[in-house]
Chains A and B, each alone.
Chain A
Amino acid sequence: MAYKHYKDNREFIKALIESGDLVTIEQEVDWDMELGAIVRRACEKKSPAPYFKKIKDYPGWEGFGAPLSTWRRLNIAMGLDPDTPINVLQDEYLRRITEPLVKPVEIARNDAPCKENILTGADVDLFKLVAPMVHGGDGGRYLCTWHMVVGASLKDPEFVNWGMYRQMVFDETTMCGPVLPFSDMGKMFYGEYAPLNKPMPFATVIGMDPLSGVAACAPSPYPETEYTGQLMGAPVELVKCETSDLLVPAHAEIIIEGEVIPHVGIEEAPFGEYTGYRTSPRAGRTVYKVKCITYRNNPILTVSNMGVPTDEGQLLRSFSLALEMRKLIESQQIPISGVYMLPESTHHLVVVGVKNAYPGIAHQIGHLVFGSKLAPWFHQVMVVDEKTDIYNINELIHDFCTKLHPSRGIHIYTSHVGTPLYPFASPEDRKYGKGDKVVFDCLFPLDWPLAETPIKVIFSNKDIYPEEVQQKVLGSWKSYGFKD
């Protein structure tokens, strides 16, 4: 049975208008930094998503910024109440992705809105699309910031990957952008196509339905087409590309088709990234040659503006990476209460609540997490006991400042894998993707006698207020005169 979901970007926009999570901007905005600046500020203030009705130089085009940069908008995309708590959202998400996979359906070309306009040959010109200068000084106009790149394995064409790899416009028929070797697309392109000097067909999908976007960001062991179907509870509708056999979401706003070219590079970056900085160096990056562009009538460009929290890059990746770590740790029967990555940490900090069952449990969690294939994306693990609310920043700070021993509690692991995007890494480390890791063990040692172990003075602690006292106070709270 299908969950409540939105089959395209436009239905999602309508839902956000109804819930008050979107602002419609009727005045003309400039694609050259103004549009990006509005989206950036909306992210920093956690404002409603901006919907641009008029963009300078591009009559008939619209824009939609920060589509999933708040928990409310993610809840709405999932068909849940906007104020659903994070732990409930996590549980529901995990429940859905353990249901049977839902295969996509292919629809006829004539039924696909993304084919309402088709540009091929000499008509292909990326500058006909609203490619914004997202941040002043960016290496180019980043057309593709809330999108997915679709590619298929050469060895197994049934294996198709959806991933979000930023893409910058170089000229009318060329884009470029980083594809890290350890990414799914990187393994495919650099591992299978490039050694044979073979171009890899790709399709960039801009303005897909929100759950397809969530799937494209999530580390998925299954094809994202089926993962999206799990999240929707219904098959995602796909249509074949014009210039390859790749299938793309039929209701997306814009499709850009072409080939990834081996053994060439075009300089790309700098670009504001999810870490909140422009960190990665300008360097020769992967080249995409464009052969065809298709798009809907009155197309809407979706824009994610990465910078200081919170934007999609942080919120969705923090959410999905935390769930993957939760699944991994639970698979080893380690008695955790939960895993959470604060979006404000730009998915660099993994917070794990655990029952302190045996010595060294924090180390064990650290080794497990840092040994996973997702380890390049984070470098800090904080282990707290199961009584700490891992979703409460105040409790986390309190634990960090009071239970973490400055020398005994901080464990550093060197010579690990990292990414070029770590702002704190040296230029040399960034160049080679090297990184160190750290575990913050915020557990009191088990070898302390019970009588010597501090207890937290907090209302909910039964050692401080017995159950009956807590229940009496909670039951009488409003009658005392409290309104909260």
Chain B
Amino acid sequence: MSPKNYNIIKEVIVLRQEWDTYILTKLVDVEEDVEALRVIRDLTPGTHKYKGRFVKCLISRDPDKYPDRLRVRLGRGQLTNHIWSIKITENVEGIPTKPYHMSGGISLKEE
């Protein structure tokens, strides 16, 4: 079986959830595999499509590294072609009390 068909079948079986997020910095500056606080939107079809949520997550340019798919939009809504992957490590309830000024994600990496 070709790797492409394997991935197609894997996606169907696993039913990977799809999210999107906005990255306001240059994409090359995005830190992969570092836990960050982000706003992501649920792309599941239906009445709740585009619902936002605060999450702590890891993202990767490797579309197969993490369980869910992530689409990335730039600051004026432009959809990039590349599919990323995302692992949600924690759903954050409420609105983060830290003054939250969007910058495309707040890194939670230890300084």
Q: How far is the CA of A170 from the CA of B96 in the complex (A)?
A: 14
A133: nearest chain-B partner, CB-CB: B50
Q: How far is the CA of A278 from the CA of B74 in the complex (A)?
A: 12
Most chain A CB within 10 A, of B51, B79, B97, is at: B51
State which of B53, B77, B101 has its C-beta within 8 Å of the C-beta of A283: B101
How many Å from the CB of A112 to the closest CB on chain B?
27
Inter-chain contact B39/A267, CB cutoff 8 Å:
yes
User: Does chain B have a CB within 8 A of A261?
Assistant: yes
A32: nearest chain-B partner, CB-CB: B49
Inter-chain contact A138/B99, CB cutoff 8 Å:
no
0 or 1 for each of B68-111: is its CB under 8 Å from A? (1 = yes): 00000101111100000000000000010101111000000000
Q: How far is the CA of A234 from the CA of B26 in the complex (A)?
A: 56
Q: How far is the CA of A284 from the CA of B102 in the complex (A)?
A: 5
Among B9-17, B40-48, B58-66, the one that faces the other chain is B40-48
Known A266-B100, A267-B102; contact A281-B75, beta-carbon cutoff 8 A: yes
Inter-chain contact B49/A284, CB cutoff 8 Å:
no
Interface size on A, residues (CB 8 A): 32
User: Does chain B have a CB within 8 A of A222?
Assistant: no
Inter-chain contact B75/A137, CB cutoff 8 Å:
no
In addition to A171-B51, A266-B100, 20 A-B residue pairs with Cβ atoms within 8 Å of each other are A133-B49, A137-B76, A137-B79, A140-B41, A141-B50, A170-B52, A265-B99, A265-B100, A265-B101, A265-B102, A267-B39, A267-B100, A267-B102, A270-B76, A278-B76, A278-B77, A281-B24, A282-B24, A284-B99, A284-B101
Within 8 A of A (CB), among B6-43: 22, 24, 39, 41
Q: How far is the CA of A422 from the CA of B22 in the complex (A)?
A: 22
Binding site for B on A (CB under 8 A): 32, 57-58, 127-128, 133, 135-141, 169-172, 174, 261, 263-267, 270, 278-279, 281-284, 287
Residues of B contacting A32 in the complex (Cβ-Cβ under 8 angstroms): 49
Inter-chain contact A172/B73, CB cutoff 8 Å:
no
Inter-chain contact B102/A171, CB cutoff 8 Å:
no
Residues of B contacting A266 in the complex (Cβ-Cβ under 8 angstroms): 39, 52, 95, 100
Q: How far is the CA of A281 from the CA of B102 in the complex (A)?
A: 10
Known A133-B50, A266-B39; contact A282-B75, beta-carbon cutoff 8 A: yes
State which of A172, A267, A270, A278 has its C-beta within 8 Å of the C-beta of B51: A172
Q: How far is the CA of A267 from the CA of B47 in the complex (A)?
A: 21
A135: nearest chain-B partner, CB-CB: B77
B23: nearest chain-A partner, CB-CB: A282
Known A127-B48, A137-B77, A140-B52; contact A282-B99, beta-carbon cutoff 8 A: no
How many Å from the CB of A148 to the closest CB on chain B?
24
Q: How far is the CA of A264 from the CA of B24 in the complex (A)?
A: 20
Residues of A contacting B50 in the complex (Cβ-Cβ under 8 angstroms): 133, 140-141, 169
Residues of A contacting B75 in the complex (Cβ-Cβ under 8 angstroms): 270, 281-282
State which of A128, A169, A174, A270 has its C-beta within 8 Å of the C-beta of B77: A270
B53: nearest chain-A partner, CB-CB: A171
How many Å from the CB of B47 to the closest CB on chain A?
5
- Please list 18 pairs of residues, one from A and one from B, whose beta carbons are closer than 8 Å in the complex, sorted by A's number: A58-B47, A128-B47, A135-B77, A136-B77, A139-B77, A140-B50, A171-B51, A171-B52, A171-B53, A264-B97, A264-B99, A264-B100, A265-B101, A266-B100, A278-B77, A281-B24, A281-B75, A282-B22
